[in-house]
Each structure stands twice: as structure tokens, then as C-alpha cells.
Amino acid sequence: MTRTVGKMWEKYCLRPTQGPVSTTIPVFVYGTAWKKERSADLVYNAIKAGFRAVDTAAQPRHYQEHLVGDGIRRAIADGIVGRADLYVQTKYSPVSAQDLANMPYDPSATVTDQVHASIKSSLHNLRSNIDPDSVDESYIDTVIIHSPLSTLAQTLEAWHALETYVPRHIRNLGISNCTLSILRELCTSSQTTVKPSVVQNRFYEDTLFDVPLRAFCRENQIIYQSFWTLTANPDLVRSEPVQQLAHHVNITPAAAFYTLVMGLKDVAVLNGTKDESRMKEDLSAPKQVENFTLKQPELWQQILTDFRACVITWQYEVLILVTTADSVNASTEPGQLGLAAEYYGGLPTLVPSRYNTWHINSNSFTAQWALSAAASRLNLDVGQFTRPIERHLPSIDQLLVLDLPPVVDFGNLLSASVLIH
């Protein structure tokens, strides 16, 4: 299990990698997306306010990594922190996430060469000393693949390239915008020598709050980093358990929501506020909540239980049926299952279609997760999911195809009903 170190509600110790130095990550990470020309000043202000972790990316489209580095160097030069006091995290962003007119590598290069160019740029941008020659001594606490690449093979190629920097220039690796199937592959594959230390995902209803993925993270010493936490969850911020905690601890509902997300275990939260007073309010909240948990442990447990119920309000059955070739496309093999996914909002339900298959009424992320979870419950050795494919068939918006071993007994599979909760 992941260990908390120091005082409760402050930081986690990441899983050991190849290096002698263990890395700690604070429960709050300052997010720098969309800060543009204010990035340097905001990072400096965040560190001055008490943030000790900073997240950025080698993706000029949404981040100004060089300005983030300027803010860090300024805070170090002013004696606010030393480099060893900070957790600095950046990302290799695939071509699909880049502005082709402004990116840190040649988009026509191999994935391996893209990674090397991106890391070279990041080590320069995030060096702790203003002297450019200090790059050789520069290191980054964690580098994350911003999103899985088009194929699993390409994702593994990027991962292997990043592994060559561990532990000297990169201490830990992670992945963002990731599904459980991809994460499981990175953790269990014999092809990876450095296992993921962090996963950074949106925490929101469309992915069912990543319940199974977060459980996998806890079981495998991986810290889950939530982003888009406030923006995507206005209803949760207004929910009764959040309001109750805010009242009892005398903190803002936003701060109460952050700490309840942390209370789900092994979760660090990205916080991108630009308001200095909000920075201090949010940073002080975990300690205030810790004191509350010590003084009123039963009430805290009740509030946390009620909050968990808010993010696990779904329970439904998934009945998997084998589709015919006509219902998918002419190239579909008998050893494949097709799952058509439509989005109508609300919770997933099953409805019959005119193509003798079944639809899950949800978006592609939920459909992908549901099929993965169902296959896992059936103990199937599932293959890699394809990306959602647009189809021009009546009532079918997206299609996910799951490769299955040819030895699967479809007779048993047809009658399998899987309860997911």
C-alpha cells in the first residue's frame, strides 16, 4: 500500500523506482494549464503561499513550461524553497495534443525521438539554476505521458524511451487521461521495467469517478491525481456531505470538497487557483480537516461515507451478447464482441437495437470501462481496446471492439450477467 509520510494529510511517498532517493508528493499539486503569460508569477505566488508541488507539460498549446521554470527558479533564488523541497512534474504530450505550429519536437520523428526531444526541452525549462550549463544536473520528479498514443505499441515505445532517464534525470513515471486497461498493461507487462507511480485523470461523472481505476491504483501503490476536480463537479460541491464538512470545519465548500476527494485514499488533487487568498485557504484545509477527524472521528466517517455514496450511486447489469458481422462491419471476426455505445445522458441502461446487438446508453469512456469490468469479472484474458470508431449506422454513434481469445465459449458468455458496482 502507498504510505503517507510526515504528518497526515500532507504528502505521500511514491513507490520505489530504480534510484536510491524516494520521492514524496504533497496532497495538493499546483496546476499551471491555461496560465499563459502569467505562469511565472502565478507559480512563484503559489510556492510563496505554500504549494510544494507544481504540474506542467511540454505542450505550448495549453502550458508555458519555460515560464513555470522561471517561477520555480525565482522562488529558489529568493530563498523561499530549495529544489529538494519541491515536487516538479511535467508531461510528454503526443502529437495529437500539440499545436503543430508550436511544439517541442518534430511531429514526423519517431515516437522515441519525440520523447527525447521533449525531455531535453523540459530539463532545460525546469532546471533549478539560471545557468544553462546546469541542465546536466537537472532532474524532474515525475514525467507523465499526457495521454495514451494511438496504439498500445506506440504508448509502450514512449514509455520505454522515458525509462532510459530513470533515475538520473527523471525519478518517476506516470500517465494521464488513461483507462484501466492501459494502466493494467503498463503495470503488468514484462516489457516495462519502471512501473507507473502516478495516474492523472479527470475526476468526474462521465468516467464514473474512476472507481475501478482508483481501486487498482490503491492496490498497486499508484497515486491517483485528480484534475478538473472543481470545474466538473458543481453538483458535488453543493452536496450535503460537502456542505456539512464545510460547516463543521469552517472552511469553504471548495476546500471541503478537495479534502473529501483526498479522503478517498491515495489521491492528490491538482489545484489551479489564481487567487492568493484562495491558495492559502485551500492549503490550510487538509490540516483543519485532520484536526476535525481527530476530535470527531465518528462524524468524519459518516460524512466521508455519505460522500462516497455520492460518487458510487450506480449499480447495473451488463449483459454481453455476441454481435453478427452485419451489425458491426464486414471485417468483424467471430472472435470479437461488438459494443455499440450511445450517449443520452444519465446512467447506463441496456436497450435492444435493430442490429441484434445491445447498446449501453453512455459515452465511450463508460462503455469502455463497463466492457473492461465485465470481461474482468468473467476472467477473460482481454486484448487491447480499439479507439472509438465513428460509424454511419442508424442509432449507432460509436463502436468499441474487444478482441477475445478464440477459445472463448460464447454459449456461456451469452448467458453471463455481470453486476458492476
Give pLDDT tens digits for 333-360.
333 333 332 222 222 333 323 222 333 3
Average pLDDT of the chain is 78
Instruction: Kindly state the cell numbers that stand for 134.
Output: 546546469
> How many alpha carbons lie under 13 Å from residue 373 in its C-beta half-sphere?
25
CA distance 139 to 121: 12
Length of the chain as a residue count: 421
Q: Any idea which residue has 437495437 for its cell?
A: 353
Instruction: Kindly state the cell numbers that stand for 64.
Output: 508555458
Strand partners, 54: 30, 88
CA distance 345 to 132: 52
**Percentage of residues in the chain having pLDDT higher than 90:** 63
pLDDT reported for residue 7: 53
Burial class (CB in 10 A: 0-12, 13-18, 19+), 99: exposed
pLDDT reported for residue 329: 33
pLDDT reported for residue 181: 87
Regions in the chain scoring below 70 on pLDDT: 1-8, 18-20, 313-421
Give pLDDT tens digits for 31-87.
999 999 999 999 999 999 999 999 999 999 999 999 999 999 999 999 999 999 999
Written as one letter, the residue type at 7 is K
pLDDT reported for residue 170: 97
pLDDT reported for residue 20: 67
pLDDT reported for residue 176: 97
- What lies within 8 Å, CB to CB, of 199 at 6+ separation is 174, 175, 176, 178, 183, 213, 217, 222, 223, 224, 225
CA distance 65 to 90: 8
- 403 backbone dihedrals φ, ψ, rounded to 5°: -75, 130
Instruction: Kindly state the cell numbers that stand for 304.
Output: 466521508
The domains located in the chain, with CATH, are: 11-233+265-273 (3.20.20.100)
